Amino acid sequence: MSPEAAASAQFQIQKLYTKDVSFELPNAPQVFQEEGQADVKMSLAQRVEGLGENLHEVVLTVTVTATVGEKTAYLAEVAQAGIFLVAGFNEQATHAVMNTLCPGTLFPYARQTISSLIADGGFPPLTLQPVNFEQLYAQRMQQMMNEQKQGDSSDMVSDETVAAEFPSTN
């Protein structure tokens, strides 16, 4: 990117909001009497939608599922969204911003909401570890390049979707 183009590039948060929240305790109250440590898993999904010239809605969905033995202790899901102005970048840089900077901005809000839901649900506080969206993006781009080199004609993940699963500790 030339210095002139970099100077005209803009990234602005227009609005941040919680689009959807869900908390389920399918095995309550029995789950509170279960022995053993909960196995907690976190998954991420992202959706990007154009809203007009240079405006984009990015929705980061964070899902946390805890199981004790064979039973689901809880399921917490938050769709944290934002409207972002992204202008003056080339197509590749815009794609990178949408898949790194935008979800990186949204994740702390989703993490706080998830933590509150779990604590309000009667479970010990859960601290989700930070997520390196730059690394996830680089891995996904490398995977897509490898698939293209192999001539894989199967459906590839959309440019606007990222999904990952992470074990989490509480």
Query: Residue 150: what pLDDT?
Result: 81
- 32-41: pLDDT as tens digits: 888 888 899 9
Domains of the chain: 3-144 (3.10.420.10)
The pLDDT-based confidence of 70 (bands split at 50, 70, 90) is confident
What does pTM read for this prediction? 0.82
Distance CA 170, CA 168 (A): 7
Among the residues of the chain, which ranges form H helices? 3-8, 91-99, 101-120, 133-149
- Over the stretch 20-35, which tens digit does the pLDDT of each residue have? 999 999 999 998 888 8
3-state secondary structure of 92: helix
